[in-house]
Structure 1
Amino acid sequence: MTQFRYLTGLIGRDIQASLSPMLHESEGDAQGLRLVYRLFDLAADGMDAGDLPRLLDAVQLAGFAGVNVTHPYKQAVIAHLDDLSPQAAQIGSVNTVVFQHGRRIGHNTDIQGFAENLRAGLPSGSRFGKVVQMGGGGAGAATAHALMGMYVGTLTLFDPNGARAAELCAALCALHGDGRAVVGQDLTAALADADGVVNATPLGMAGYPGSAIPQDLLRPDFWVTDIVYFPLETQLLREAKAAGCVTLDGSGMTVHQAAGAFEHFTGRKADAARMAANFHAALTGGTRR
């Protein structure tokens, strides 16, 4: 029997292929909750970052429990919130906004989602001495902090925005130890003795074709993971697999961050295993909602 009703959603750009509505609504159904999850695709609606304030006003006034936030607004949304969880404040990135007692509280469940995916998805004994990460935006901040928490020796960070990369590296070093995060200068040199590669850019998403790593720089002793999940096998992962690398797609991160967001929205603990089964069923031909 349905007991409670929740309005939720996702704010982002070029997100029509998102499986987040299915993930949240199917978990709500399983728990006897009437949960509606709506996409707010600013590209499709002819809006941009300047429209975030009025969009947040609208969903808050409409009685939404909260919204997820994805590329490219995980950092831009912070200026329009009343408070941040300690973790969101620490990394300067928000992927979940909860409306509570007239206030907007920003959270980040990407760190947990990424770390859980690595722990469960990479082979036992995988090395984390030196890792190269592509991308230092909102998602990249979360993955970088997760990697530091997993005792990566040195993280080399590449981002087209040099100032953003430097700022993130400084924050990582201040929290996790001097010299553990450095701004990348030469990708070939950084990959020469790397153990793993993380793509935290939108490259590979539907609407953002391409790969963050040139194919000829991939070596079979790498592990390679991508935060993109649609398509599940990005160009990077396809080329890495052909090169003999251990590869890990973004589905686990997506499921675990969604489970965390579901708990923030509803106060109910999500069944991550059930969400993962629903997610993969949808990807392999099940019903999407």
Structure 2
Amino acid sequence: MTQFRYLTGLIGRDIQASLSPMLHESEGDAQGLRLVYRLFDLAADDMDAGDLPRLLDALHLAGFAGVNITHPYKQAVTAHLDELSAQAARIGSVNTVVFSEGRRIGHNTDIQGFAENLRTGLPSGSQFGKVVQMGGGGAGAATAHALMGMGVGMVTIFDPDRMRAQELCATLCTLYGEGRAMVGQGLSDALVDADGVVNATPVGMAGYPGSAIPKALLRPDFWVTDIVYFPLETQLLREAKAAGCVTLDGSGMTVHQAAGAFEHFTGRKADAARMAASFRAALTGDRR
């Protein structure tokens, strides 16, 4: 018999198309849990980052088990939490907040989600000597740390906020070794000897059309991955595929980070394969 047990949700901006509610609720149903997952779209509610403390207060008081955090609040939310996991503290980015015993504890499951997607999604023998990454924000911090943990030789990071890119690169070099991260100067030069390309920006999402990489710079020897999953094939991935690149969409990262968050919320291990099947079914319109 299914019982009501967990209130959860997602805080972000322009997130009406998110499939996170389906992912978490379907896994809860499969495990005999009554899990409710709500969207808190600050754009739709005419709110901004300054409203985060009030919103967290309200959710905590309402008895929520926790909430996920997405663009653009993964870094801003850290100032309003009581504690960060070691991993979240190291990268300064949170995608999962757990309310426990009167405290708000921040975690980051994006790192494991991104790394697992690369491990299982790219062909065996893919090269990881040098990677060019677009974006150095909350999601970009997670993907960059994941790349370092997977043994990538060097990551070159491009971000419109140069100071943010510099701070991320400094942190990466301190933790993983000097010279393993640098701020990009010119994109075409950085791509000359790159093995892979990561888009860790929202560019390509339904609300942020376009591509983070001009198609003229794409070469068939690249692997290219995008953290965006809606649409599943972004303009970047479509143009990369046409250029002969190996491509990897953001669905695997989304599923694996959700599985980690589900475990934080419920204390139960999620079935990532089952969540992936639900996710693919939802994307193709088969929601049976």
**In 2, distance between residues paired with 1:239 and 1:280?**
22
CA displacement at 1:3 relative to structure 2:
4.1
Residue 97 (structure 1) aligned with residue 97 (structure 2) = yes
Give the 3-state SS of the residue equivalent to 2:244 in structure 1. Answer: coil
CA displacement at 1:287 relative to structure 2:
2.5
Q: What does 1:58-77 align with in structure 2 at a 5 Å threshold?
A: 58-77=58-77
Q: What does 1:1-289 align with in structure 2 at a 5 Å threshold?
A: 1-287=1-287
**In 1, distance between residues paired with 2:286 and 2:144?**
33
**In 2, distance between residues paired with 1:242 and 1:216?**
11
Name the aligned partner's letter for residue 218 of structure 1. Answer: L
Which stretches of structure 1, 4 residues or more, deviate above 6 A after TM superposition?
none
**In 1, distance between residues paired with 2:13 and 2:3?**
33
Give the 3-state SS of the residue equivalent to 2:132 in structure 1. Answer: strand
Q: Which runs of 5+ in 2 are unaligned?
A: none
Name the aligned partner's letter for residue 17 of structure 1. Answer: A
CA displacement at 1:206 relative to structure 2:
1.1
Can you list the C-alpha shifts for 1:194-249, whole angstroms capped at 9, x where unaligned? 00000000000110001100010000000000000000000000000000000000
**In 1, distance between residues paired with 2:70 and 2:240?**
26
Give the 3-state SS of the residue equivalent to 1:74 in structure 2. Answer: coil
**In 1, distance between residues paired with 2:18 and 2:140?**
19
Q: Which runs of 5+ in 1 are unaligned?
A: none
**In 2, distance between residues paired with 1:42 and 1:114?**
25
**In 2, distance between residues paired with 1:114 and 1:287?**
25
TM-score normalised to the size of structure 2?
0.99
**In 2, distance between residues paired with 1:40 and 1:151?**
36
Give the 3-state SS of the residue equivalent to 2:146 in structure 1. Answer: helix
Give the 3-state SS of the residue equivalent to 1:113 in structure 2. Answer: helix
CA displacement at 1:2 relative to structure 2:
1.9
**In 2, distance between residues paired with 1:95 and 1:285?**
27
Give the 3-state SS of the residue equivalent to 2:230 in structure 1. Answer: coil
Name the aligned partner's letter for residue 173 of structure 1. Answer: C
CA displacement at 1:286 relative to structure 2:
1.9
Give the 3-state SS of the residue equivalent to 1:274 in structure 2. Answer: helix
Give the 3-state SS of the residue equivalent to 1:25 in structure 2. Answer: helix
**In 2, distance between residues paired with 1:251 and 1:129?**
24
CA displacement at 1:157 relative to structure 2:
0.4
CA displacement at 1:4 relative to structure 2:
4.9
Give the 3-state SS of the residue equivalent to 2:46 in structure 1. Answer: coil
**In 1, distance between residues paired with 2:79 and 2:154?**
31
Give the 3-state SS of the residue equivalent to 1:221 in structure 2. Answer: coil
CA displacement at 1:275 relative to structure 2:
0.1
Cα RMSD over matched residues?
Answer: 0.8
CA displacement at 1:280 relative to structure 2:
0.0
Can you list the C-alpha shifts for 1:18-48, whole angstroms capped at 9, x where unaligned? 0000000000000000000000000011111
Give the 3-state SS of the residue equivalent to 2:211 in structure 1. Answer: coil
